[in-house]
Structure 1
Amino acid sequence: MDRMIYLAMNGAKHVEWQQATTSHNLANANTNGYKADQVSFRALPVKGEGSPTRTYVVDNTVGHDMSQGSLLQTGSPNDFALGTPGFFAVQGPDGQEAYSRDGGFALDETGMMRTKSGLPLIGDGGPITVPAGSKPEIGQDGTVMATPQSGQDRTPQIVGQLKLVNPAVRDVYKGEDGLFRLNGGGTAQADQGVKLVAGALEGSNVNAVDSLVQMISHARQFDLNIKLMQTADQNARSATQVLAMTA
């Protein structure tokens, strides 16, 4: 009986973890560039005498849904989306190179291009800075052009190129900050096959309806495990009463 209670308790705990992941996905259904976390259950055998037919149910993160989110046309020259698989490079909070699909930028007081969350956009030679008084534009290949808005010379100048990469899905992981990084550290090589779409943003790829259905399923699984624990406890109490009567 004790073993059944422990197995059911373990199952309830891991269902609760999956519910937390699903809730996190649903909370980011409107977060630009968000990629849904994917989880599944896996079975682990219980070791010990009389236990070869029993298994633990363990929550296992299997990766992320890297499918393309819907492209939202904004018409803003400061917005861009990735129209192909891949990422653009940013400087993470730890100062190291990281990767994102949440496009769009703003210029800080020094002219440095930053994401809307404040992270510097990385080019081939580091962060990209636009000269004062110039209007930046980003080409399909990530080339950043700056056009002076005053003076006689209004010739656009190339000031940098966004680093666009496309590592294999199995080679990257998503951190708690929502940024992707290479497994084992290091930086990815630029990939000319990654293309941008100007004046657009990529929406989240979370399916809100599927997430709600998953939450209902998780809740039912959690209730089932709780009932198993209650049944095991009741059976143990009944067995104890029978033994006490025959003693």
Structure 2
Amino acid sequence: MDTSLYVGLSRQVALERSFDIVAHNIANAGTVAYRGDSTLFDQSMEKAGLSDPVSFVIDKANFLNVRQGNLDETGNPLDLAIMGEGWLSVDAPAGILHSRDGRMAISRDGVLVTRISGLPILDINQAPIAIDPEGGPIQIAKNGMISQKLGEFEQQVGQIGLVQFPEDQSLTRAADGLYAAVAPPQPALESALIQGSLEQSNVQPILEMVRMMDISRAFQQATEFIENGDELKREAISRLGRRS
């Protein structure tokens, strides 16, 4: 059994997926707190009816690049950057989700929400945080404690919860830079919040462009491998036909 077509095709399918992921990373190089993806491939050894096994490429998984992005100072008191492995928790219709995007706003109801999707940001007890829209500007400490001047006095009005997970690779992407978690979160005691700053994407566009070129070359090589196999089969059939 000639397996050259299937081997080459498995390689092309894997490379096409890698290309899509690299393109998605490049498209999000300017997205706040975006964390890039990479692909993880493996080999499947099968007998394919032959004495020697044949190696096929299989798409095993994606893995999340957990390297921290650069921090840019914005001066906006409703911008937060996370130093360390922590994640913010938000109350979404599908349940509690997590994000490192610290762009916040205060809703008309006086709730601290994400600026993009308007979802309530949760405190250390997984409850929404109430902010007085008529009060003074909020001050956020590194541990997430929020202070606001109400009348003549500065008061603590809540504490933003920071969580982490035993394994970030268990997180799955949702919409608007949010992630769903399978494992229960733990307090991120070693992480800190920086008010007036935002974490930028950890994607390095130059490296991603190099990866894209490498993938394109590898895809061309896989195509040539398939074409060469087809040519050998045509020649073999032609020779057998002339002998008969």
Which of the numbers 142, 145, 151 marks the counterpart of 2:144?
142
CA contact (8 A) 2:106 2:133 kept: no
SS of equivalent to 1:156: strand
Structure 1 unaligned blocks of 5 or more:
none
2: CA distance between counterparts of 1:231 and 1:158?
72
CA contact (8 A) 2:47 2:53 kept: no
SS of equivalent to 2:77: coil
Structure-to-structure mapping, 1:39-50, within 5 angstroms: 39-50=39-50
Q: Could you tell me which residue of structure 1 aligns to residue 75 of structure 2? A: 75
SS of equivalent to 2:32: coil
CA contact (8 A) 1:73 1:199 kept: yes
Q: Which runs of 4+ in 1 moved over 6 A?
A: none
Post-superposition Cα deviations, 1:157-190, rounded to whole Å, max 9, x if no partner, equal: 2221111012223563132423233225xx4132
Q: Could you tell me which residue of structure 2 aligns to residue 163 of structure 1? A: 161
Q: Does 1:243 align with 2:240?
A: yes
Deviation at 1:132, TM superposition (A): 3.2
Post-superposition Cα deviations, 1:49-103, rounded to whole Å, max 9, x if no partner, equal: 2263420112333521111110001111111101222111112341x11211111
Q: Is 33-42 or 105-114 further displaced after alignment?
A: 33-42
Q: Could you tell me which residue of structure 2 aligns to residue 200 of structure 1? A: 197
CA contact (8 A) 1:19 1:215 kept: yes
CA contact (8 A) 2:64 2:169 kept: no
User: In 2 relative to 1, CA 189–8 (structure 1 residues): closer, same or farther, beyond 3 Å?
Assistant: same
Deviation at 1:125, TM superposition (A): 4.5
Number of residue pairs the alignment of both structures matches: 240
Q: Could you tell me which residue of structure 2 aligns to residue 104 of structure 1? A: 103
CA contact (8 A) 2:11 2:57 kept: yes
TM-score normalized with structure 1 length: 0.90
SS of equivalent to 1:224: helix
TM-score normalized with structure 2 length: 0.91
For the aligned residue pairs, the C-alpha RMSD in angstroms reads 1.8
Post-superposition Cα deviations, 1:23-62, rounded to whole Å, max 9, x if no partner, equal: 1111111111111112132111123222634201123335
Which of the numbers 187, 190, 194 marks the counterpart of 2:187?
190
User: In 2 relative to 1, CA 238–199 (structure 1 residues): closer, same or farther, beyond 3 Å?
Assistant: same
SS of equivalent to 2:223: helix
Structure 2 unaligned blocks of 5 or more:
none
SS of equivalent to 2:180: strand
2: CA distance between counterparts of 1:223 and 1:79?
45
Q: Could you tell me which residue of structure 1 aligns to residue 32 of structure 2? A: 32
SS of equivalent to 2:23: helix
2: CA distance between counterparts of 1:125 and 1:59?
37
Quick one: which amino acid aligns to residue 207 of structure 1? Q
1: CA distance between counterparts of 2:51 and 2:210?
34
User: In 2 relative to 1, CA 146–9 (structure 1 residues): closer, same or farther, beyond 3 Å?
Assistant: same
SS of equivalent to 1:105: strand
CA contact (8 A) 2:126 2:161 kept: no
User: In 2 relative to 1, CA 170–88 (structure 1 residues): closer, same or farther, beyond 3 Å?
Assistant: closer
2: CA distance between counterparts of 1:211 and 1:5?
29
User: In 2 relative to 1, CA 52–86 (structure 1 residues): closer, same or farther, beyond 3 Å?
Assistant: farther
